[in-house]
Structure formats: structure tokens, C-alpha cells
Amino acid sequence: MNSSLCVMKFGGTSVGDADCIRRSAAIVKAAADQRPVVAVVSAMSGVTNRLIDGARRAELGERDFLHPLISGLRTQHLTALRALTSDPRKYAEVQNTIEEVLGELERLLQGTALLSELTPRALDAISGVGERLSAPLVSAALCELGARSVPVSATDIIVTDIHHGHAEPLMVETRKRAETHLRPLLRDGVVPVVTGFIGATLDGVQTTLGRGGSDYSATILGAALDAQETVIWTDVDGVKSADPRLVPEARTIAEISYTEAAELAYFGAKVLHPNTLRPVTAAGVPVWIRNSFSPEKPGTRITSRGKSNGGGVKALTAIRDVTMINVGGPGIVGRTDVLARSFAAAAAVRANVLLVTQSSSQNDICFIIPTAEEKRTVQALRDAFAPELAEQTVEHVSANSSVAIVAVVGENMQGIPGIAGKTFAALGREGINIIAIAQGSSEYNISLVIDAAATQKAVTTLHKEFRLHEASPATAEATSVGKQSPEGVSAAGPAGTRK
């Protein structure tokens, strides 16, 4: 009975206004006519940012933003609701929900301003409001199309640990809740529209799964319900062979493995929340990335095996806005604690280390972090090595923010010799200097640090070198339909731009 179940997630832009919601609801309705469907929705685009901004201002004791924020949210959601439902009873019912949620938001922000203190718990309660406002709208739109649908709060279903801001699901408990709360609805032919992004602890304290976490909500539910597949409906055509803003001839990849997709997600891809594939990888539930604005396009399918394109390399990513930190000097040669102390210092300030290299001479440790984290990381390192810096044993802790990482990704690169050679030869031919190199022993990824100014040239060169613009037979269809999405963020959005 579970086998045909589909979980469909709609991101912020796919529910950005009444027209988008109607388009998304039509996609759900068409699917729900054929099979059981669970919909998962993000907040309307931009809403989560506004909520977090409000929380920060309340923390400063400000109150003047409160009225404009709340009345703005009210107008936005009621305007959409009015356009989406012709049934006055439905309108009144959803309006009630919206007022209740906004009332709660106002109390949370007032309390925060009163105390001038924003606890992680309050921030989660505030930032998760957008999904509680959008889910009833999407459900109302479905009812308008003749489907039976109810909004469902994920706080009743997705049980998490208490890590506010980046909570992790407790799957056993979540499975039980999904069985008791969602399965009966599905059996009755009702489409539950579940709030993305949020969950709650066993004690009922609301948490969030991290920014962009609605993707994760969808795969958590896909795994919990043993879905046949999970579809992430977004505003891009799928996973691309490179960022189309850098490489216009980049194409949509028809099929990719969990490992490759995760590799791309970790390397700055804007397509998926980095944890998204975790719940479904073990269960082998396929995940689709599809464009809700062009539902006729096939999108990208993510499966355990992916599909070989023959050449080994599947995609390229480029991460800009990164900084290379060097800790080095002859004084550290042979010392066994420099790595541990460097990373402990970086971890203490929550720097996200994207790449690490150390030559066997141990003369120099190099790692890359997002530029936004540079200041505090450098400070932490200087503090950690203060004694050595004073004695000049560690000659330097230096930072260079005019670098970029280009990564060559593909599961089938494993055991294919020559890919690194081809990469270096192609870049050498173009006069692009490679500052540092890292390759994981899994061989799914070769990462190069280059001068940021050469990013576009490097990616274009490698895209050509590995013939990624040539559609393999499996992907021909993916590129021949319609136009590419203009923004088309890919495998390779810049780091940190994820919504």
C-alpha cells in the first residue's frame, strides 16, 4: 500500500505568491489523482529572512519594526488566500489560523524585545512561523482544485533532538508519528500539507532543521513513510553540470548518485540542504529535483547508483567567497599537535572548514573557510598559537581571500586514472595556477584552489575538457525540452547563497 506514495516538497519560490501556489497545487493535485501524496512546503520566499531579521531587532530591544512586519505578513498571506479560495468558509478558517500564528509571533517578538534576549529556542519558534502560514494556503489551494487536503504541523510528526537551529530527526519516533498521523489521512485519499523546516522534541519544544531545511523535512518524511520517491520542486531544472552563470552550455544531469549529489551539496551547491540525502540513502528512496515553473522538464533523479556518463566526471562546482588560511613555518615541522590545535581553534569559532591540505614536509597547513568566517578564525588561531608566535616558531597565520575552490565531481572517477592529469594539463594550458589540491580517498572529488579571478576560465576549460556539454543518450531529453532556467543554479552556486 505504501509503494506508490510520493512526498513532494515545494520551496519558497514555488509558493512565493498566489500564482506560484496555484501552479504548485496543480502539480500536487495531478499526482494525487494517481497515487497517495504528502506535500511539504517552505515559507513564502523571503519570509524566513524577514522573521529572523525581526528576531534580531527585537533582541536589540527595538519594537518599531513589529507592526510593519506583522501587518506585512498578514497582508501578504491574506492577499494570496483571497486569490486562492472562492469558499468563504475556507477563507474564514485559514484567516483564523493566520491570525493565531501572527498573534503568537507578536508575543514572541514582544517577549524578546522586553528581555533584550534572543534564546535559540525563541529564534526557532520565530523563524518557523513562515511555514505555519504557508501550509494552510497551499492546502486551501488544493481544496479549491477539488482535492481533499488538510494542513499538518510537522511539530506533531518530525521528532527531533534539542539542537536548536540545526536539529536532527529521531527516526524511530518520527516513523511512529507519521504512521499514526499521516497514514490514516493518506488511506482516506486526503493530501496532508506538512510544514517544512520545523519539528519538535519529544517534549513538544519546537525546533528547526537549519536554513533551507524543508528539503530535509521532505526526505525525513519520505523515509519515515517508505515512500516510493521524494520530489523536490524548486525553481531550477535540476542539478547542472556547472553553474550556468559561469558556463552557459551547462546542462541538466539526468541521473546522479546520492554520493555525487551530496558531494555537490557540500561543495556549495544551492540545490539541496546538505543533510537532505541522509534519510533516504539507506532506504534507497529516489529523490527528484524538478522545476515547478517548468513541470514538463524531467529534472534530475538522484539514486543509489546514479548513472554513468562514461567519462567519470559528472559536474564541476566553483565556490567563491572563500579564504585560504595558512598556518606554517619551519618551526612546526615534525610537531604533532599543530593540526589538532589549528582545527580545535577553528571548531571553537564554528568555522566551516571546506578543504584541507598539508604537505608531507609539514611546512605548511592550509585550509579553506568561507570568507565570512575569516576574521574570527584568524583571531582564534593567533590566540591559540600566541606562545609560538611570540617565539616565532610558527612563522605565520595568514589569510588570502582572493581564492576560489573548483571541484571536479563524479563517482565513476574512482579508479579511472588520468582525470587528475587531464585536469591539471587543461588548466596548465590556460595558464591557470593551482595553489593547492585536495582529493578525498573516496575519489569522488578533486578540489583545486585557484586565484578567484580565474574561476570562470577554469570552470569553462574543464567543462569543455570533460565534454560535459555533450548530452549522453540518457540526458539528451533533459536538455532538449524548453529553455534552461535563467538563474539555473546548479551544481555550483556560490557558497553561502542558499536561501
Residues found near Mg ion in the complex (CB under 5 A): 12, 42, 499
Residue 213's binding partner, choosing from ligand ASP, Mg ion, none, with beta-carbon cut-off 5 to 8 A by kind? Answer: ligand ASP
User: How many residues lie near ligand ASP (CB under 6 A)?
Assistant: 13
In angstroms, what is the minimal distance from the CB of 303 to ligand ASP?
A: 23
Nearest to 299 by CA among 350, 266, 261: 261
Is 366 in a helix, a strand, or coil? Answer: strand
Residue 367's binding partner, choosing from ligand ASP, Mg ion, none, with beta-carbon cut-off 5 to 8 A by kind? Answer: none
Residue 298's binding partner, choosing from ligand ASP, Mg ion, none, with beta-carbon cut-off 5 to 8 A by kind? Answer: none
Position closest to ligand ASP via CB? 214
Nearest to 214 by CA among 406, 8, 51, 387: 8
Nearest to 148 by CA among 245, 37, 40, 240: 37
- With contact defined as beta carbons under 8 Å apart, do 406 and 462 qualify? yes
Strand ranges in 196-259 using DSSP code E only, listed in sequence order: 198-200, 206-208, 229-234, 255-257
Pick one of 183, 211, 376, 464: the residue that binds ligand ASP (CB under 6 A).
Answer: 211
> Please, which residue, 124 or 411, has the CB nearer to ligand ASP?
124
* Amino acid of residue 282: A
- With contact defined as beta carbons under 8 Å apart, do 251 and 194 qualify? no
> Please, which residue, 73 or 254, has the CB nearer to ligand ASP?
73
In angstroms, what is the minimal distance from the CB of 208 to ligand ASP?
A: 8
Residues numbered 27-46 forming contacts with ligand ASP, rule: CB under 6 A: 42-43
Beta-bridge mates of residue 199: 207
Pick one of 16, 36, 54, 130: the residue that binds ligand ASP (CB under 6 A).
Answer: 130
Nearest to 37 by CA among 311, 222, 233, 288: 222
Position closest to Mg ion via CB? 12
Q: How far is CA 367 from CA 182, 424, 436, 437, in A?
A: 45, 20, 9, 11
| Measured distance between the N- and C-terminal CA atoms of the chain, rounded to whole angstroms | 36
Stretch touching ligand ASP by CB under 6 A, among 211-219, 224-232, 254-262, 383-391: 211-219
> Please, which residue, 139 or 257, has the CB nearer to ligand ASP?
139
Pick one of 196, 222, 244, 329: the residue that binds ligand ASP (CB under 6 A).
Answer: 196
Count of CB atoms within 10 A of residue 468's CB? 27
> Please, which residue, 23 or 469, has the CB nearer to ligand ASP?
23
Pick one of 48, 206, 317, 461: the residue that binds ligand ASP (CB under 6 A).
Answer: 48
Q: Site residues (CB under 6 A) for ligand ASP?
A: 11-12, 42-43, 48, 130, 196-197, 211-214, 499
